[in-house]
Amino acid sequence: MSELTLIFLLLLSAWGAHAQDPVSAEEFSQRGITRFEKNDLEGAIADFTKAIELNSQQLEFCFYFRGIALYRRGRRDEAIADLSKAITLKQHPRFYGDRGNLLAQKGDLDGAVTDLNRAIEIDPKYAKAYGDRGIVRLMRGEDALAESDFRKCFELDMRLESQFKAAALHVKQEAVLRADHQTTTDVEVVKFSWKETPSRVLNAPSSPAIPVSTTPVSRTGLRVLGGPEKGEPGPPLPTDQTGPDPFDPLSPARPNSRPPTTSARGVDYRFMALIKNTSSKTITFVEWAYLFIPANPQEGFAYVFTTRVDLPPGKKKNLSDQVPSMVISANQTKAPSSQNRALFKERVVMLRLDYADGSSWHSTAGAVRD
């Protein structure tokens, strides 16, 4: 059990033995915990503030908990300030890791990496910190370093693998939408298409944690590291407790609260692109993207696929991939569908080609010949 979880349980247990109004700093901090558990964030902030004013014996945790409550209220800069105060009092890896996440949300990727480096330095087995640093490094375009971090994260805690792979794919898809892609002369896209097949009807949370491999990514809706505006989750913390961590700023849900449900539909998407090798070398690997660009290009969507092939010069190959059991909430009307596909211009982009001779080509960096 992590130190933060243990402190939380001790404070909560102690508060259960005192039903009277708080007087001491510790009683205010204990009631702050209870209020946070009940999603009374303003009350929790007020109690932690009072505990701080009374110079609590565990001042660093009061700053930390108040910071998370502030973050939940959308007051990110104040939350960062409180986590910074907690760090000056105690060099705790969790404090650094969570501040690093918030800095990354703010766009301070260098500051985020510095904090995550420190979290790992303090606790070299902190799996989530490696995964978070991998995401930030991916956002900075440091793919090789990011992959190294992901491998270390999964080695330490394999339970994090699916969620960090999903977050990594979000970053890559966002990069595809943002990049100015070069067109390769080595491949001709002969034709492309996609089709949608309805599957089942179900009820789903209005803000579910949907794996990125089964959903399109909106440029304006992307929150790789989570955000209070939409309640989108980040990867879970490496604790021994079950269920969401109430003090994780990226936790998908708070205790004693249930997200509203909404009608949703499941669909299967199948994407196809017929390509021709117009080069003089055999192609062995293709990374490609299917793009949907509406009138407002800021609201584009992208699906990214990788396909291993054996495609000699002059030959054609049908690339195909499927996005299964996609769940679309009722209010996600901007996503491509059979009903609104006329609103989008569609495009297939070659992102990377690998050749049998060991050379490769990248759409955002031109040809790379070894």
CA pair distance 343, 337, nearest whole angstrom: 10
Q: Which distant-in-sequence residues (6+ apart) come within 8 Å of 74 by Cβ?
A: 228, 229
Query: What mean pLDDT, rounded, does the chain reach?
Result: 77
Instruction: Report whether pLDDT(188) > 50.
Output: yes
Q: Mark which of 125, 146, 176 sits at the end of a domain.
A: 176
Task: Decide if 249 is inside a domain.
Answer: no
Residue 100's pLDDT is 95
Looking at the fold, whether 271 and 161 belong to one and the same domain comes out as no
Q: What is the mean pLDDT of residues 1-24?
A: 60
Residue 78, classed as helix, strand or coil, is: helix
Task: Decide if 247 is inside a domain.
Answer: no
Closest CA to 292 of 301, 284, 283: 301
Total domains present in the chain: 2
Q: Of 31-35, 94-98, 140-144, 218-222, which has the strongest mean pLDDT?
A: 94-98
pLDDT confidence of 299, banded at 50, 70, 90?
confident
pLDDT tens figures, 337-358: 888 888 888 989 998 999 999 9
Instruction: Report whether pLDDT(262) > 70.
Output: no
Structural domain span for residue 341 = 182-236+254-368
Residue 301's pLDDT is 83
Looking at the fold, whether 268 and 159 belong to one and the same domain comes out as no
Tokens 């060991």 found at: 358
Task: Decide if 246 is inside a domain.
Answer: no
Looking at the fold, whether 131 and 219 belong to one and the same domain comes out as no
Looking at the fold, whether 125 and 16 belong to one and the same domain comes out as yes
Residue 9's pLDDT is 55
Q: Mark which of 133, 161, 176 sits at the end of a domain.
A: 176
Instruction: Report whether pLDDT(231) > 50.
Output: no
Q: Are 129 and 250 in contact (CB under 8 A)?
A: no
Q: What is the mean pLDDT of residues 271-283?
A: 96
Q: Are 266 and 135 in contact (CB under 8 A)?
A: no
